Amino acid sequence: MTSAAYIGRDRLDTVSIANRGLNYGDGLFETMRVHRGELPMWQRHLVRLREGAGRLGIAMPDLAFVEARIAELTAGVDSGVLKLLLTRGEGGRGYAPPLDAAPTWSLSLLPLPTPQGALRLHACETRLAMQPALAGIKHCNRLEQVLGRADAERASCDEGLMRDMAGNPVCATSANLLVLRDGRWSTPPLDACGVAGVLRGWLLDEGLLEVATLSMDDVESAEALALCNAVRGILPVHALDARAWPPHPAVADLRKRLAMAYPMFSESREPA
């Protein structure tokens, strides 16, 4: 892994014990696909990061400086994952956010995950709490996802389907949920919990996906399921616990449409 941390424009090698990200999860992050030295969906990641920074009152670092450091780190990288972490910085009296905090941010270059076949999902025992103030943004309070992922691993599954406190499906621990019903793809609303994924946003903008409140019955009776995220693209789902689905042409079709706009997500790179 190659990584670097900064306070403003000052390079650090590690992070202080007093960092508010470490103490309170007081920060935001973006996890992005790197392809031939570029971040294909950078503008969408940036929009979400700014939305989160506005909601939490965290100052954004100088964008031109960040982009220059990203360009240095990803230059010549054929494929990989870039994580940008932005925390409020150090200090303050307890929880009180200091007005003059200098945000600490870091970049980490990681390998692209190994392609997998169709995924096995487990309906996580851990539920997502309803918190509109934090819903949609990619903040660093992720214990629910950590516990949900542990639920999925205990069930020997690849990913966990997370439900809200009312029992309705919301998303996977690190991907959004796509549900095919009557030949149309829908995805749950994220106004109370969940992260508004960048690829989910692209699919909505392209008219390939619509938002609909779904029950677990709707998911279990669906024609097909898939997951999406900005690193791995569209991932077919083979099973949700005991319920299994055969491959569906609508999943392959959605992947082809994505690959037309973003060729790095083509089938040859991530087998169905």
Question: Which CB sits closer to a copy of itself, 153 or 241?
Answer: 153
d(CA 137, CA 52): 5
For residue 253, give both structure tokens.
Answer: 């079709």
Is residue 80 at the binding interface for a copy of itself, with CB under 8 A as the rule? no
d(CA 161, CA 170): 8
DSSP lists the bridge partners of residue 180 as 185, 224
104, 91 in Cβ contact below 8 A? no
Is residue 173 at the binding interface for a copy of itself, with CB under 8 A as the rule? yes
d(CA 82, CA 177): 23
d(CA 72, CA 67): 9
Site string for a copy of itself, 120-149 (x = CB under 8 A): ------xx-xxx-xx----xxxxxxxxxxx
Interface residue with a copy of itself among 96, 156, 182, 268 (CB under 8 A) is 96
Among 196, 127, 186, residue whose Cα is nearest residue 161: 127
240, 220 in Cβ contact below 8 A? yes
Is residue 94 at the binding interface for a copy of itself, with CB under 8 A as the rule? yes
Is residue 23 at the binding interface for a copy of itself, with CB under 8 A as the rule? yes
Question: Which CB sits closer to a copy of itself, 180 or 190?
Answer: 190
Is residue 166 at the binding interface for a copy of itself, with CB under 8 A as the rule? no
Is residue 21 at the binding interface for a copy of itself, with CB under 8 A as the rule? yes
Phi, psi of 130 (to 5 degrees): -85, 115
Site for a copy of itself in 30-69 (CB under 8 A): 56-57
Question: Which CB sits closer to a copy of itself, 93 or 217?
Answer: 93
Is residue 5 at the binding interface for a copy of itself, with CB under 8 A as the rule? yes
Question: Which CB sits closer to a copy of itself, 157 or 225?
Answer: 157
d(CA 249, CA 223): 10
Give the residues lining the site for a copy of itself (CB under 8 A). 1, 3, 5, 13-27, 29, 56-57, 85, 87-88, 93-97, 106, 108, 113, 126-127, 129-131, 133-134, 139-150, 153, 165, 173-174
